[in-house]
Amino acid sequence: MTPPLDDAALPSRLPRPKEELEALKRAWKPTSGLGLLKEVNNNIIGVMYIGTALLFFVISGTLALVMRTQLAVPENDVLGHSLYNQFFTVHGTGMMFLFAVPIVEAIGVFLLPSMLAARDLPFPRLSAFAFWAYLFGGLAFFCSLIFEVAPDGGWFMYPPLTSMKFSPGINADFWLLGIGFIEISAIAGAIEIIVGILRTRPPGMTLDKIPVYCWSMLVMAGMIVFAFPAVIIATALLEIERAFDWPFFIAERGGDPLLWQHLFWFFGHPEVYIIFLPAAGLVSMMVPALAQRPLVGHDWVVVALVGTGFFSFGLWVHHMFATGIPPLSLSFFSAASMAVSVPAGIQVFAWIATLGKGRLQWTVATWFLLGFLFIFVAGGLTGVMVAVIPFDWQAHDSYFVVAHLHYVLIGGMVFPVFAGLYHWWPTMKGTMLSERLGRWAFWMMFIGFNVAFFPMHVSGLMGMPRRVYTYPGDLGWNVLNMVSTVGAFVMAFGVLLVLIDMARDAFGRGRPAPENPWKAGTLEWIPNDDYATRSIPHVRSLYPLWDNPNLSREVQEGAHYLPGAPTRRRETIVTSPIEARPQYLMPMPGPHWSHFLAGLFTAAHFICLAVQLYWVSLVPGVLAIASVFWWVWGLDKGADHPPQDVGGGWRVPVYLQGSENHSWWGTAVLLLVDGTAFACLCFTYVFLWTVSPDVWPTGTDALPGLGWLFGEAALWIVAAGAMLLASRAVAHNRSWTMRGALLVGLLLMLAAAAAEPYNHIGSGLVASESAYGAIVYMLASWQVFHVVILVLMTGFTLARSFAGRLHARRRVTFDNVMLVWLYTCGQGVVSLLLVHLFPRLAV
Amino acid sequence: MEKTAFTATFTGMMSAFLIWAVHFAAVYGINGLICARAWDGVELYGHPVAVVLILGATAVALLLAAGVLAAALWGAAPGRRTSEDPRRFIRLFTGLAAAGSLVAILWNGLPALQVPACG
């Protein structure tokens, strides 16, 4: 007989009242049927998200198989030149943007709450919106292939090949608008993940007790915040160049195609680590569970993760070694490329040491992990080779690079993800995938992968270039290509076995899993339900289930925090970011149609733009905005319940204003994204001046007078002051003062935003004439875009005020708008200083 | 550990990495500008301007990162130590990050001694 728990030291007294669990179940009851479209629960969204990413993986992989069939023999004609270009572009884009990043975010959406014992991530509707936007956008992107209008410029879409002159159709627009839009979804996921990890940890999970996977996701999400804006700006600039002939990349008018490469690879190289680090985090969680001992050098691994994230931003030019950049500049990037291998090496040694010290369980996940170690280390070694500039000059744009990148990406990410699928499958619905099928799948994938990609190192060194759709038969590449093709099909068969295994489980043939089948030590192995764990445990170590064998039972009996649903709705505890002390009880939004409609209409808007139905695109655009307003109108409920007892003597409020509110954090992270995008525009300005000073004004005659600078700056500053005045008015419940200050501030901002393009037009500056004109108007347009957003946000704020939903004790919406407002004013002043003073001061 | 300001703590933990990032951007920007403006023939204190400026920036960055390392190693000793006190971890993290950044900054700065600025 199991001895009774000693509840004297536990946060909640046992036994719990019976109706408490029923209330919890009722609050978290999932919707069914069509209602699934309304669902926001991470357990459901996470599974759909992972499934969609796998679907896109299969589609992208199928394209690769067709390409390998084309290359199996010389002078083959399965695919023509044009279609082959579309295939490799969609394959690369699909794998990088529609599989790799989304699946790591999807796994995060599914796993993070259970690893943190949170009831859900803090913005469940944002996760659901990100998923639907991704699904609709991704499907539309692949459909472009059916109509032969898919992009064909490679996954990196270098201009001038993708400029209007050389790509006059809508193929490139599908990439630029489609991928730009899907990145918005990735950023939404990143915001969710950052705030989730920092603010919804269980009590006691201080910084030093955060699981390594959560650290890796935190680093990944942080990298998305600082990397993705670069490619969003790049795609915006190229699309604007194509649509309006503003010459950002056209050398004849002062633009530079290298600008694209800088912006793209500032995103593109960190992207590799955005993909790899979460996979490394999964490995760092699986290895201890499979070896039954704590991860060796846990703290070092955490620092290595963060260090890799930082150093990876110093590598972007290592994709540009052959572009004629000065040798000393190349050396900086070569040095950084080698430096980044050190933290990666620390992780590899930590895994090997842990595996070596433990008693290894030989599961399917173990095999995939060993396969990962072999392939990833091999890919890392060729990575060091291509980091050496003279070698890179030889191997550049050859199949050697194709081999290297597939070793790194498939080894570093696909194998750990498949290991993770087998390892964490039991947490989904309590069943296990087949160990026998899994092992077959592993060996097919491992052997197939090496047979497919190892010969590419050789064919590359023998001179076979990338992206060729065929080759003559007398160059000595025939056997190598045939072997690669056979290997690719063997690997694909391995993937098919995994899919069959998952389908078997879906049709009820999966083996029931015992509780915690691998005897792991972390929180996601506590049995859970739609509401996550019955109660939120107090954490005292990195492996709480190993340190307290009773913990799972304590949690399931409701002996820890928040054992019920005290306000009768979905909610979780928000804790402080360092000490993880309970701060308030966060009400969570439930099922709703708004996020689904917002995702659908946003996708429709971008698709209309891609196919050049500009006026039609306004309809879904307006509907998307309306859906978002519908979505957020019901949030920010104020303190509609008294403070609640969540256990352990903690009585916390159900609403907290100011910088401790989770949505304030979400807005702050969003502004980091925004600030990075603006920094990329400033970089564009300075870069174009560096390469084309001849199109910049040499005297003050061509510039608007300094009076414009001071006048517009004053407008922005007074507008910021008006917002601060409105804030004081809210604090004292002076509604009409607040409304008046907001309206006056908004008018001032509108005037400032309109004055900037107006005075440049007055000076005779034409955007399409030179890169200088293009970037000046781009900076002005960026500011106008922000003011348009603020018009909508201010209108929403005023509507809430008139509806009685905004006052001194219920001002979270106002505070978030204030953050965006003040940021926009600051950005406006910086933009003015750059545009008006730089040409006067530059040599 | 009582209530701690997140921004200050987190920035402190990341400070050495941030110093590396600023140094990296600075040396790349300096060299890019010197080459774009064809200033590679200019000398400063009898040495090419790129070498002087890049080594100067490297020295400053090394000093700053060393300062972070020293602060992590010999900073105020933690007082009350409980299982919920993350200060040991914060100091260890800061120290390791500083040590790693010192090596990375040095590694990034050294090519200025060997490689011509603009070819």
Q: What percent of chain A has pLDDT over 90?
A: 91
pLDDT classification of B80: cutoffs 50, 70, 90:
very low
Structure-derived torsion over alpha carbons of residues A181, A184, A185, A191, reported in degrees to the nearest 10: 180
Q: What is the pLDDT of residue A115?
A: 96
Q: Does B47 touch chain A (CB under 8 A)?
A: no
pLDDT given at position B107: 93
**Mean pLDDT of the region A550-574:** 95
Q: Over chain A, what is the mean pLDDT?
A: 94
Mapped onto helix, strand or coil, the DSSP state of residue A114 is: helix
Distance of CA A840 to the CA centre of its chain: 40
Backbone angles phi, psi at A569, to 5 degrees: -140, 175
Residues 6+ apart with CB under 8 A from A793: A817, A820, A821
Tell me the shortest Cα–Cα distance from B83 to chain A, in angstroms: 7
pLDDT band at A315 (very low <50, low <70, confident <90, very high): confident
With vertex at residue A582, the alpha carbon angle to CA A580 and CA A584, rounded to the nearest 5 degrees, is 130
Confidence of residue A367 (pLDDT cuts 50, 70, 90): very high
- Closest CB to A328 among B3, B31, B92: B31
A→B contacts (Cβ < 8 Å), by residue, are 198, 204, 206-209, 299-300, 302-303, 306-307, 310-311, 313-314, 326-329, 331-332, 334-336, 338-339, 342-343, 540-541, 576-581, 690-691, 843
Residues spanned by the domain of B68: 1-74+84-113
Residue A6 in this model has a pLDDT that exceeds 90: no
Q: Of chain B residues 66-95, which have a CB less than 8 A from chain A?
A: 83-86, 88-90, 92-93
Q: What is the CB neighbour count within 10 angstroms for residue A146?
A: 8
**Residues contacting residue A775 through CB under 8 Å, at least 6 positions apart:** A248, A681, A684, A685, A688
* Residue B97 near residue A303, CB atoms below 8 Å: yes
Q: Which residue has the tokens 């649903």?
A: A565
- Within 10 A of A734 (CB to CB), how many other CB atoms are there? 16
How far is residue A412's CA from residue A781's CA, in Å, rounded to a whole number?
40
The pLDDT tens digits for A811-826 are 999 999 999 999 999 9
Say which DSSP state A561 is in. B
Judging contacts by C-beta atoms under 8 Å, the chain B residues touching residue A329 are 28, 31-32, 35
Among candidates A158, A168, A139, A154, which has minimal Cα distance to A55?
A: A139
Number of domains in chain B: 1
Task: Give the count of beta carbons closer than 10 Å to the beta carbon of residue B60.
Answer: 15
Strand partners, A572: A586
Question: For residue A398, how many C-alpha atoms fall within 13 Å in the half-sphere facing its CB?
Answer: 20
Task: For residue A215, give the nearest of A185, A183, A193 by alpha carbon.
Answer: A193
Contact A131, A56 (CB under 8 A): no
Spatial distance between the Cα atoms of A801 and A804, rounded to a whole number of angstroms: 5
* Nearest by Cα to B10 from A222, A582, A296: A222
Q: Flag whether B27 is in a domain.
A: yes
Residue in A255, A93, A180 with CA at minimum distance from that of residue A768:
A255
What is the tens place of the pLDDT at every residue in A450-492?
999 999 999 999 999 999 999 999 999 999 999 999 999 999 9
Amino acid symbol at A167: S
Token output for A103: 């699946």
pLDDT digits (tens, 9 = 90+) for A110-149: 999 999 999 999 999 999 999 999 999 999 999 999 988 9
Cα dihedral A198, A203, A206, A209 sign: negative
Q: Give me the mean pLDDT over the A720-731 stretch.
A: 98
Minimal C-alpha gap between A677 and chain B (Å) = 17
In this prediction, residues A495-502 reach a mean pLDDT of 97
CA A532/CA A563 separation, integer angstroms: 11
pLDDT digits (tens, 9 = 90+) for A461-470: 999 999 999 9
Please state the separation of Cα A164 from the chain's center in Å: 29
CB count within 10 Å of CB B46 equals: 6
Do the Cβ atoms of A107 and A282 come closer than 8 Å?
yes
Q: Is the pLDDT of residue A271 over 50?
A: yes
- Chosen for mutation from B6, B42, B47, B94 (greatest number of chain A CBs closer than 10 Å) is B6
Residue B13 lies in a domain: yes
Q: Which of A57, A271, A28 is nearest to A156 (CA)?
A: A271
Task: With beta carbons less than 8 A apart as the criterion, state whether A60 and A406 touch.
Answer: no
| Cα separation, A684 vs A699, whole angstroms | 21
* Chain A nearest C-alpha distance from B51 (Å): 10
Distance of CA A143 to the CA centre of its chain: 23
Q: What pLDDT does A1 receive? A: 44
Alpha-carbon span A667 to A663, nearest angstrom:
6
- How many CB atoms are located within 10 Å of the residue A709 CB? 20
Main-chain phi, psi angles of A365, to 5 degrees: -60, -40
- Residue whose pair of structure tokens reads 């319940």 in the numeric block: A641
What are A373-426's pLDDT values in tens digits?
A: 999 999 989 988 998 889 999 999 999 999 999 999 999 999 999 999 999 999
CATH number for region A43-512: 1.20.210.10
* Residue B40 reports pLDDT greater than 90: no
Report, in angstroms and rounded to the nearest whole number, the Rg of chain B calculated over CA atoms: 18
Q: Chain-centre distance of CA A113, in angstroms?
A: 17
**Pairwise CA distance, residues A384 & A340, whole Å:** 10
The CATH class that applies to domain A662-842 reads mainly alpha
What are the tokens at A93? 């884009």
Let me know if residue B61 belongs to a domain: yes
Q: Are A511 and A434 in contact (CB under 8 A)?
A: yes
Give the DSSP H or E segment for A400: helix A399-409
Question: What pLDDT was estimated at residue A213?
Answer: 97
pLDDT of amino acid B79: 46
> Per-residue pLDDT for B82 more than 70?
no
Asked if A646 and A561 count as a contact pair (C-beta separation under 8 A), the reply is yes
Is A484 within 8 Å of A452 (Cβ atoms)? Answer: yes
- Mean pLDDT for B45-56 is 93
Question: Which residue on chain A is closest to B24 by alpha carbon?
Answer: A314
- Asked if residue A91 lies in contact with residue A71, where contact means CB atoms within 8 angstroms, the answer is no
* Reported confidence tier of residue A209, pLDDT bands at 50, 70, 90: very high
Angle of CA points A386, A392, A398, to nearest 5°: 100
